[in-house]
């Protein structure tokens, strides 16, 4: 809030939802611009600079998907899609056409705020972070680990992890994209053979997820590959 007030464009055909979002985000100190369909959002974009867009999908006139496609022709401003459709295909579609995040209705206000902040941080701050890059820095999207001073940042915010949690996360981030089974993680971190059914590792990983993810049930970084293991998605 130290900087100049950031502007968020909220676009939904349901006025009450727009108002509610405005109240939540306004409470966090953002300036809100309201639009009630895709075309209106595009018009507003031309008039004033916007730092982030929250876009509903199903709207009369120009819908959210096409509006996003139009916006992406000219701008790389973060877009969070807010939709009543919760299926995987809808999410994938939204992310594939250039949206940065996807929130299903009905949403948790706190999660919405967290995600908005996360996107803004990544968009505005990440550039600065890369300046202090040293050898032992691992990055994965908004997740960054500085192994020199054992620090973990999510979207630029430091996160506190226990040594074991830190080691597990480091292992996964170093080998981003690779799936580790519980046994493999156990062997790597404890340097011992895994004995029997012990879900210590799984519990640790859940704790890590709770710390680094906005919604641990839908993790962005540390993903559960059910029945196979865990991995950190390779991200730029």
Partner 1 sequence: MKKTIVLMIHVLSVLLFAAGLSVVYMLSPGGFGLSWINESDFISSPQFAEMVNEDIGNIKEYAILKDTFEENGEIVYDKTIVTAETSNGLTAYTLREMSNIAAGYGCTMDPQTHRISITDSGSGEEDSAVNYQLKIAVKYYDPDYYADRPQGPGQGIMNLKDLSIEVMQVFARYYVLDEEYGHESTNFCYSLHYLNAQDEYIDVYNTEKPMDDLLGYPRYLRVEGSGQSSIDTNISPVPSNAYESENSPAQTDPFGREDEYELVVGIDTTFPYQDRYSRAADAYSRDIDNVYAGIFAMASGGILGIISLIMLLYSGSTEKGIVALKPADGMDLELYIIMIAAAGVLLYWIGGGAFSAVVSILAPSDSREYFISLGRALVIYGLVVCVLRSMIRRYNGGVLWKNTLLRKTCDAIEDFSAHGRLAAVLTSRYFSLVVLNVGLGAAAMYCFGMRFESWRYMIFMCGFLVLLLIIDLVVFMRIYRQDRQREDIGTALKAISEGGTETEISEEDFSGRELEVVKDINNISQGLRKALNEQVKAERLRADLITNVSHDIRTPLTSIINYVDLIKRENIQNQKVRDYVDILDKKSERLKNLTEDLLEASKASSGNVKLDMQKIDLVELAMQAGAEFEDKFAARELELCLDTPETPVYILADGRHLWRVLENLYNNAAKYAMEKTRIYADVIAGEEENIFTIKNISREKLNISPDELTERFVRGDESRHTEGSGLGLSIAKSLTNLMGGKLEIVIDGDLYKANIHFPVYDEAMEGAASGEAASSDSGASLIEIVSSQD
The residues that touch partner 1, with contacts defined as CB under 8 A, are 14, 16-17, 20-21, 23-24, 58, 63, 65-66, 84-86, 88-89, 92-93, 96-97, 105-107, 109, 181-182, 196-199, 201-203, 205-206, 224-229
Closest separation between CB of residue 4 and partner 1, Å?
A: 27
Distance separating alpha carbons of residues 187 and 165, to the nearest angstrom: 14
Closest separation between CB of residue 182 and partner 1, Å?
A: 6
Edge-to-edge order in the sheet of strand 52-56:
31-35, 7-11, 52-56, 79-83, 101-104
Closest separation between CB of residue 118 and partner 1, Å?
A: 20
Of 102, 165, 127, 157, the residue nearest 173 (C-alpha): 165
Distance separating alpha carbons of residues 23 and 89, to the nearest angstrom: 30
Judge whether 166 and 205 are in contact, CB under 8 Å.
no
Judge whether 115 and 219 are in contact, CB under 8 Å.
no
Closer to partner 1 by CB, 58 or 136: give it. 58
Closest separation between CB of residue 161 and partner 1, Å?
A: 17
Looking at residue 180, the DSSP 8-state letter turns out to be: B
Closer to partner 1 by CB, 181 or 188: give it. 181
Closer to partner 1 by CB, 29 or 227: give it. 227
Closer to partner 1 by CB, 137 or 224: give it. 224
Q: How many C-alpha atoms does 56 have within 13 Å on its Cβ side?
A: 25
Closest separation between CB of residue 227 and partner 1, Å?
A: 3
Closer to partner 1 by CB, 113 or 126: give it. 113
C-alpha radius of gyration, the chain, whole number? 20
Closest separation between CB of residue 125 and partner 1, Å?
A: 28
Closer to partner 1 by CB, 11 or 129: give it. 11
> Residues with Cβ < 8 Å from 74, sequence gap 6 or more?
none
Closest separation between CB of residue 96 and partner 1, Å?
A: 5
Closer to partner 1 by CB, 47 or 217: give it. 217
Instruction: List b or e across 146-165, with b for residues whose CB sees 16 or more CB atoms inside 10 angstroms.
Output: bbeeeebbbbeeebebeeeb
Of 229, 232, 235, the residue nearest 219 (C-alpha): 232
Distance separating alpha carbons of residues 228 and 168, to the nearest angstrom: 16
């Amino acid at each position: 809030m130290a900087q100049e007030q950031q502007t968020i464009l909220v676009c939904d055909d349901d006025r009450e939802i727009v108002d509610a979002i405005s109240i939540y985000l306004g409470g966090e100190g953002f300036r809100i611009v309201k639009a009630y369909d895709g075309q209106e959002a595009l018009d507003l974009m031309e008039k004033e600079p916007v730092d982030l867009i929250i876009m509903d999908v199903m709207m009369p006139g120009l819908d959210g998907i096409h509006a996003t496609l139009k916006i992406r022709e000219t701008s790389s401003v973060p877009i969070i899609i807010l939709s009543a459709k919760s299926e995987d295909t809808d999410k994938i579609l939204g992310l594939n056409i250039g949206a940065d995040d996807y929130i299903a209705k009905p949403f948790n206000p706190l999660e919405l705020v967290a995600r908005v902040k996360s996107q803004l941080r990544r968009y505005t701050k990440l550039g600065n972070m890369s300046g202090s890059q040293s050898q032992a820095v691992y990055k994965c999207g908004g997740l960054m680990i500085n192994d020199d001073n054992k620090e973990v940042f999510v979207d630029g915010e430091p996160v506190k992890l226990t040594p074991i949690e830190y080691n597990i996360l480091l292992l996964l981030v170093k080998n981003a994209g690779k799936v580790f089974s519980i046994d493999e993680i156990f062997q790597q971190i404890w340097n011992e053979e895994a004995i029997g059914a012990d879900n210590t590792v799984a519990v640790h990983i859940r704790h890590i997820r709770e710390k680094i993810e906005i919604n641990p049930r839908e993790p962005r970084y540390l993903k559960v590959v059910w029945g196979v293991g865990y991995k950190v998605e390779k991200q730029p």
